[in-house]
Structure 1
Amino acid sequence: MRSIQRQVRRGLLATSIMLAMPAIATNYYCDNDANSHQYPHCVGGSPGGTYYSGQAHDVNGDDRRLPGAGSHKSCPTGLVAFKTSHVYTWSVWLYNNAFRSTNTSYSAVQASTSSPTIALSARVNQNTAPGGWKVLGKGSGVSDLLVIGNCGTSTTALAGIDAVRASFTSQAASLATGSPAAAAAQIEHISSLDIADDVVDTSNSCGVDMVTMNPRLADIQKKMLDAPDHYRDISGAFHIRFANVQQDDQVDFEASPVDHSSRVTTMNALGQSRTDVATTAKQMSLWPQERTYQMQSVAPAEASAPAGPRHYHNAQCQPVFTHREDPAHAFAASDVSSPENYAFWLSTSASSITGHTQLLGRNVTVIQGQQDAYLAEKLGAATFTMWVDDATGILLKLRGNNSQGRTVYSIDVSRLSINRGLKHDIASVLTPPAGWNELASPQRVGLQMQ
């Protein structure tokens, strides 16, 4: 598009030729301090949560933060709405050390109808996500509202809401015949309407993707990013601890990416448990101690990996990380079964393969790295070590140590079974227990907030 603009301005395009514009990416933005002049396609910012200003890496220096849900409460919710509906690709800006929710729910909803539908479902661990744009994915249908919920069990691990970008591909109208100056004026008008090319910086002028310097490490990263492609079903147990958010959980899980189903039970250090059951279109969360449950719709996850680079810098030198939703919707187990965030660490940190060993009878590659500055400050770690399964890319063990050598986060898988079938018929247990109380889903809360 920019090259066409230059040609028109130089008078290189004949005045008698109809200039048909190619398909272009249109980006609409919303932010917490949005106004009609700043973001003309945004209905409003993010009601809900607490407003913060003076933030160094936030877009326009501000954000909103949602507290965690606690052990058995509806997820605190915020939302972002646009004036028109499209088949959007949704992205969120996450670059603040205070964004620490381990379970942030995103739902793209077509709200401007009498029967709202879910076009996109995504879960993100903001605590371990690298800083930059997180591309949540492309909706399965049109939508105009993004509902954000902090579904983490820690009430102090806040979910951040900063800028939201909704992108779609459109065919610009052909330009009328006329002088080069008139054509240039029309192009200028088009390019001023939130339209921007999300150009990939291929010159490395914005910094080098660290993993590209080691082809073997790049192969391991790719396998980690697409781990669900390398098994039919998986079950096991692991312990996860992150000191910066007081996370200390035991996780028991089974999942089938092929059947788009999962069952995950998480128990914290106080003995409080939560079970999440998911199928293709529904997810149910259960809190047995309080006899409460929550049902919500989920959009089908893409069966294949996203096209194009998964990590890059755009023309503004902003980091971009493309998320892939776990096809099994087994979010609470994804630290092991679909370790996307940890795979992205290999792009932002100086890392190397330091050995090979066996864990739980499986061949494993050991990777050590320096935590990048953003995550080092957030997590309190100077270095990390990963133990990655060679065959599937799942994460079997993780250690993060501070500068004094003390472990500040860890993951340890204690039991693992791959491609041996699941214990439960998951679809048959997706029924609310009789006599239990239902909690409102984030989507329902978000629609009520409009």
Structure 2
Amino acid sequence: MKKMMSSMLVLMLFVGGIGFRLPSTVYADHLYCDNDAVGYPCSNSFTESWTYRSGYSGDQNGDHRLARNDSSSSYLWRYDDYVVDPYLDVWLNNYDFTNPNADYYVSDGHTNVQYVGDINQNTAPGGWNGIGKVYGWFIDADVFQRGDYPNSYTGADMIRLYDPSTLAMNTVKEQTYHANAEIASIQKKMLNAIDHYQNIQGSFHIQFENNGQNETIDFQVDEGKTPGSHVKVTKANGTVFETKSNGKEHLVMNHQKEQFSKSNIAPRKEVKGPRHFSNENGQPVFVQRNDPATASIAKEVTFPQNYAFWLRNKGNKVVGHDKMFNRDITVIEGKHNDYLSKKLGATTYKMWVDTKTGVLLKLIGTDQNGDEAYHIKVQDIQFNQGINAQQFAPEVPKSWEKMKKK
């Protein structure tokens, strides 16, 4: 039935609307679409505030689109071809892509919209970053930019859809883990942290100088039989955003404007195979795993996949073991590669990881002068103490209005 339905892929980087749907009868197992779509079986469109820029060596084909995160606009990638149940990758390899919470959606181009996942564009390793499995014939992918990080930018470059079953996995070389067994063990825990606890709650402060991120995160997350999350983001200026998920719906709330956005969540499925490898073109691929609880920015601590990918660098080493919040901690020091060093303004970092679960409890990055460039510091945390799932209900006051999408 799926293959009989005509469809068109649209990936939309958006602070804005939903795409369109056109007929197609072409089926493939690997599809690319650059931001300018030249030479690809696809097209692009955008509204407002997206700046075309070229001459950047890290970009695919040397160009990209960029939008400020305090804007309201949309960027769409439209495919004429079709991939059955594809996996969505986005190319992130530009110093100016600094949105810490880019949300990705898929839809049928009409009224059915599903939330796929999110990624921190600021801390993602340079290369192809997997967002998640796109189910059924939902081939309209949106990046929903909430407009809540005025000093950061969202980037739009090439995307791709592919059928993981077509990969010749016997020729894919595992590149995920550090040669040191203890670091590799911590990486595995971080990349699959949600398997190592039932529920988790607490708060942390996160601050990055390069994009102006400065906020306190309060979170309650359940990864058990009925996954869900409630995350409150309080910025330094007092602005409050809130996300809720009951595993079926994803809600974003802007308290200052009394506005909300709600969408269904695409089905979750655990990824298989290497989490980091090189593709047929020798480009790095980092496979992110979807979070059933849809914990939004709380995943910086509760499911720290980006930081697990950092740990593969040869310069990393275990420098000690400690206790935090009455838990055993592994302490690791490392050096950034050239890409992240330039982007984040930091040369070295130190992280404190919960040894049992892979949850990130503290991270500090420093520049060449030893000054702090960024940090994540957990202030309070509790594991497996039980959570009231009623707080996950995606409900908003009746007087609130839906966020406008241009």
TM-score bracket, normalised by the shorter chain, equals 0.7 to 0.9
The AA in structure 1 aligned to 2:336 is Q
Give 1:349 shift: 5.3
Q: Is the 8 A contact 2:104 2:116 kept in 1?
A: yes
- Is the 2:241–2:252 Cα contact (8 Å) retained in structure 1? yes
Percent identical residues: 34
Asked if 1:160 is matched to 2:125, the reply is no
Distance 1:267 1:344, change over 3 A: same
For residue 16 of structure 2, what is the aligned residue in structure 1?
Answer: none
1:109–1:146 contact (8 Å) kept in structure 2: yes
Counterpart of 1:214, as a letter, is N
Matched residue SS, 2:220: strand
Residue identity matched to 1:79? L
Deviations 1:273-302 (A, max 9, x none): 111111122112222233222222221322
2:234 is the alignment partner of 1:270: no
Q: Which residue of 98, 108, 111 corresponds with 1:110?
A: 108
Other-structure match for 1:364: 329
8 Å contact kept, 1:366–1:385? yes
Is the contact made by 1:103 and 1:152 (CA closer than 8 Å) also made in structure 2?
A: no
2:77 alignment counterpart:
80
Instruction: Report the alpha carbon displacement of residue 326 of structure 1 after superposing the two structures with TM.
Output: 1.6
Partner secondary structure for residue 47 of structure 1: strand
Give the drift of 1:211: 3.6
Matches within 5 A, 1:35-434: 35=38, 38-39=39-40, 41-42=41-42, 44-48=43-47, 49-69=50-70, 76-85=73-82, 86-111=84-109, 115-118=111-114, 121-151=116-146, 153-168=148-163, 202=173, 209=175, 211-258=177-224, 259-302=226-269, 304=270, 306-348=271-313, 350-423=315-388, 425-427=390-392, 429-434=393-398
Note if contact 1:46-1:64 (Cα within 8 Å) is conserved in structure 2: no
AA of the residue aligned to 2:64? D
Once the two structures are TM-superposed, the CA of residue 197 in structure 1 deviates from its matched residue by: 6.3
Contact 1:210 1:350 in 2 (8 A): no
Residue identity opposite 2:396 in structure 1? P
On the 8 A contact 1:251/1:265 being kept in 2, the answer is yes
Q: Which amino acid in structure 1 is aligned with residue 348 of structure 2? A: T
The alpha carbon displacement at 1:252 in A equals 0.5
For the residues of structure 1 that align with 2:117 and 2:253, how far apart are their CA atoms? 19
Paired residues of 2:105 and 2:113 also in contact (CA < 8 A): no
Unaligned runs of 5+ in 2: 1-26
Structure 1 residues 200, 56: closer, same or farther in 2, change over 3 A?
farther
Deviations 1:373-406 (A, max 9, x none): 1000000001000000011100000000000000
Give the length in aligned residue pairs: 376
Cα RMSD between the aligned structures?
2.3
Q: Which residue of 2 aligns with 1:31?
A: 34
Code of the aligned partner of 2:69: G
Q: Where is the helix percentage greater, Structure 1 or Structure 2?
A: 1
Provide structure 1 residue ranges, at least 5 long, that are not aligned to the other structure. 1-23, 172-195, 446-450
CA contact (8 A) 1:352 1:368 kept: yes
**Counterpart of 1:6?**
none
**TM-score with structure 2 setting the length:** 0.87
2:245 partner letter: A
> Residue 244 of structure 1: SS of its match in structure 2?
coil
Which whole-Å CA distance do the structure 2 matches of 1:230 and 1:214 have between them? 22
Which whole-Å deviations, capped at 9, do the CAs of 1:84-122 have from their partners, x for residues lacking one? 3432111111100010001111112222xx55353x611
Letter in 1 for 2:275: R
Q: Assess, with a 3 A threshold, how the Cα gap between structure 1 residues 335 and 145 changes in structure 2: closer, same or farther.
A: same
Q: Contact between 2:113 and 2:263, CA under 8 Å: does it hold in 1?
A: no
Q: For 1:346 and 1:354, how far apart are their aligned partners in 2?
A: 13
Q: Distance in 2 between matches of 1:200 and 1:79?
A: 33
Letter of the aligned partner of 2:134 in structure 1?
G
Q: Quick one: structure 1 residues 419 and 385, their matched pair in 2 at CA, closer, same or farther if it must change by over 3 Å? A: same
Give the conservation status (yes or no) of the 8 Å contact 1:25–1:169. Answer: no
SS in 2 for 1:358: strand
Q: Name the CA distance, whole Å, in 2 between partners of 1:308 and 1:381.
A: 32
- Give the whole-Å Cα distance in 2 for the aligned partners of 1:384 and 1:342: 11
User: Under a length normalisation based on structure 1, what TM-score does the superposition of the two structures give?
Assistant: 0.79
